[in-house]
Amino acid sequence: MNNPFKLFLLVVGLFLTASIYQTALAQADIDAVLNRATVRKIPNYEFAESFSEQILLKMAYRTYAIANAADLRLVSKVKVTKVELVYTLYPNDGTFQSSKQVEINKQRLAVLYKELPALFKPEIVWELVPQTRCSSAEQAKEMFHGFVIHYKMPNGKASIKLSTDEDHARVGLPDPAKKKQN
């Protein structure tokens, strides 16, 4: 391999092969999650006053970018037991839910996989949670969309020590203190 161009082509070829393999592996893991996930339709996802043992990764309606991506680092501090993908069942015209919603969910899962592939292991329980209490896009936009990651503390720790900023991983929802005042 004295020819630098041949060496370059070999390196590019190896890189492309590795990239294709990683993409296929990611897709296989995402498909496995979709096949084993249970579906639990509910009117509206209800959060407890305290978000203990939950990390929320919020996404906007019909998008797949994690709005609070900085909170992904919290997941490495805990032992994840279950992941819920929460979204709205709107519009519920059959066509959207059978094609476009499935694609949005796959894109959401791909974004999460890129950041946290360990969540796709078979020992982690997965649920798809479509919310049904919305009859307009405006109502759907107000509802929670994204991932709710349930966890237990590793090594029998009582609680996770988070800074104030880290504790906001459980926000993106109305502040419980403000909710009590209204």
What is the spatial distance between Cα 103 and Cα 43, in angstroms, rounded to a whole number?
Answer: 22
What is the spatial distance between Cα 7 and Cα 30, in angstroms, rounded to a whole number?
Answer: 35
Q: Which of 16-25, 42-51, 116-125, 153-162 has the lowest mean pLDDT?
A: 16-25
**Which is higher by pLDDT, 166 or 101?**
101
For the chain, which residues make up each domain, given as ranges? 4-181
- What amino acid is encoded at 104 in this protein? I
**pLDDT of 21 above 50:** no
Q: What mean pLDDT value characterizes the chain?
A: 78
**Phi and psi, residue 147, nearest 5°:** -110, 140
Tens-place pLDDT, residues 67-123: 988 888 888 888 999 999 999 988 666 655 567 888 999 999 999 999 999 999 999
Q: What angle do CA 62, 63, 64 make, to 5 degrees?
A: 135
Contacts 24+ apart (CB under 8 A), 153-162: 153/53, 153/78, 153/79, 154/77, 154/78, 154/79, 160/74, 160/77, 160/78, 162/74
Band the pLDDT of 172: cuts 50, 70, 90: very low
In this prediction, residue 142 carries a pLDDT of 93
Band the pLDDT of 173: cuts 50, 70, 90: very low
In this prediction, residue 16 carries a pLDDT of 47
> DSSP string spanning 67-102?
TTGGGGGGGGGSEEEEEEEEEE--S-SSHIIIIIHH
In this prediction, residue 26 carries a pLDDT of 84
In this prediction, residue 128 carries a pLDDT of 95
In this prediction, residue 34 carries a pLDDT of 92
**pLDDT of 43 above 80:** yes
In this prediction, residue 98 carries a pLDDT of 63
Q: Which of 15-24, 62-71, 99-108, 153-162 has the lowest mean pLDDT?
A: 15-24
Contact call for residues 66 and 58 (beta carbons, < 8 A): yes
In this prediction, residue 42 carries a pLDDT of 93
> DSSP string spanning 151-164?
EE-GGG-SS----H
Q: How many CB atoms lie within 10 A of CB 19?
A: 10
Contact call for residues 64 and 181 (beta carbons, < 8 A): no
